[in-house]
Amino acid sequence: MKFIEFLKNEWNSYSRNIQITLYILFALVIGFGVFAIQILFWGLGYTDMNNNFAMGQWIIGDLGLVALGGGAFFTGFFLYILRVDDLEPVINSTVLLGFMCYLFTFVLLVFDIGQPLRAWFGYTYPNWGPNLMPQSMLTEVVWCLTFYFCILCVELIPLPLKHKVIDRIPVFHYIGHYLHKLMWIMAAAGTFLSFFHQGSLGGGMWGVLYAKANWFRPHYFFLAIVAATAGGTSFMMLIPKIAEKVMKKEVAPKQTYYTLARISGVMFVFYFIFRIYDIYSMAVTYVPLADRNFSDLWGGYYGWWVLALELALCIVPIVVYNVKKFREQDKLLFYTLICGVLAIVMSKIDAVLHGFSVPNFPWKSFTAYNPTIQEWFIFLGSLACMALIYMWAAKYLPLFPHLEKEEHSEEAHA
């Protein structure tokens, strides 16, 4: 009875808007559970995937979450290796976001592979080629994702240990303290691993397919890494900004956002230049190798508008992040963060939805793909789970050290 009373009091402590949001999130999670059972037990026939669209909405979730989660390794690299101390107030949030992005990448992969009981094949069957050389990029991706996820688990341990109740226990206090001292090692190892799987999963898996005129280019591996550093850092700022608006409190100093925005702005400049070179090289070098015209590859549902929107969204953070008077306007910065995240999401839509829709031969038509309700609920349900975990952590764990300091200082003045 006490537990039920606790839940009632907890629920009543939320505002009406938060309660409505929670209703929606719980509904998505329930739908996720129902349709997950259907897909896992009755197969991919309930999706709109086919032999042309071998991967669909879920792989966009995988690529998007890994790319945006890449902001965790990049932020950790700047804080622990390059010693940019302004980023410390958001590092707990960053590690949690990175952890969730990679966790739900694995969740979506379970559905994407079609036969979850054979998921271990990714670790043990690297498609041995001549001279016993592994040729499966998926094996490298799976192992790198797993190792980096383990590193994120270690980086996440100090967060619950910093809780004021747990921190009073000496053994947990010392474990958290010494783990914090080792974070630079975790950051260095995470950066090393992330460069591989960001490039492999984001671009390398597609860029090596020389039979696909719209995918093949050797530099796609590196383009995906730059995209992750640009969009990922925007994502690491956007979520705390949303938390500020919900909690109506400053969860991190403004200087933290400004510093990370400058870093993200520089990376968006690199990404935009690299993307323009990518488009140019595709048009004049790589697409003609397949005896195709570049303009002929941009038909179907996901045509020129996807590319145009991606480039337009990139320009916004380039201008706002790199101009001091713009990035210091709170509202403008918030909308720019959304644009930065969406720019990378659009690049993944271009890679997957447009990529699969392009026919291998010029006399064939573009393929259409419309995700089913099962796909929508599993995708959106995963995002809802992430939102609920983050909301729980923001309320019960010391996710924002700056907020804790402000509250202590207010109590001291009182």
Whether the predicted pLDDT of 237 surpasses 90: yes
Q: 94-98, 117-121, 287-291, 295-299: lowest mean pLDDT where? A: 117-121
- The angle formed by the CA atoms of residues 192, 138 and 202, to the nearest 5 degrees, is 60
Q: What is the pLDDT of residues 48-82, one digit of tens each?
A: 888 888 887 888 888 888 889 888 888 988 988 88
Cα separation of 199 and 227, whole Å? 10
H helix intervals, 114-253 = 121-124, 137-156, 158-161, 170-181, 183-199, 205-207, 220-247
235, 257 contact by CB (below 8 A): no
Q: Within a 10 A sphere around the Cβ of 196, how many other Cβ atoms? A: 19
Q: What is the pLDDT of residue 19?
A: 83
Q: Single out the residue of 310, 311, 71 nearest to residue 198, CA to CA.
A: 71
Q: How confident is the model at residue 409 (pLDDT cuts 50, 70, 90)?
A: low
**pLDDT mean over 220-248:** 91
Note the pTM of the prediction, 2 decimals.
Answer: 0.90
Cα separation of 332 and 339, whole Å? 11
Break the chain down into helix, strand, coil percent, rounded to 5: 80, 0, 20
Cα separation of 98 and 67, whole Å? 10
Please, what are the domains in the chain? 49-369 (1.20.1630.10)
Q: What is the pLDDT of residues 310-364, one digit of tens each?
A: 999 999 999 999 999 999 999 999 999 999 999 999 999 898 888 888 988 888 8
Q: What is the pLDDT of residue 407?
A: 54
Q: What is the pLDDT of residues 167-182, one digit of tens each?
A: 787 887 787 777 777 7
348, 308 contact by CB (below 8 A): no
Cα separation of 271 and 231, whole Å? 10
- DSSP class of residue 372 equals -
Q: Within a 10 A sphere around the Cβ of 339, how many other Cβ atoms? A: 18
54, 406 contact by CB (below 8 A): no
Cα separation of 17 and 22, whole Å? 9
Q: What is the pLDDT of residue 1?
A: 63
Work out the burial of residue 247: count CB atoms within 10 Å of its CB; fewer than 13 is exposed, 13-18 middle, 19 or more buried: middle
Q: What is the pLDDT of residue 175?
A: 79
Whether the predicted pLDDT of 6 surpasses 80: no
Work out the burial of residue 207: count CB atoms within 10 Å of its CB; fewer than 13 is exposed, 13-18 middle, 19 or more buried: buried
Q: What is the pLDDT of residue 405?
A: 63
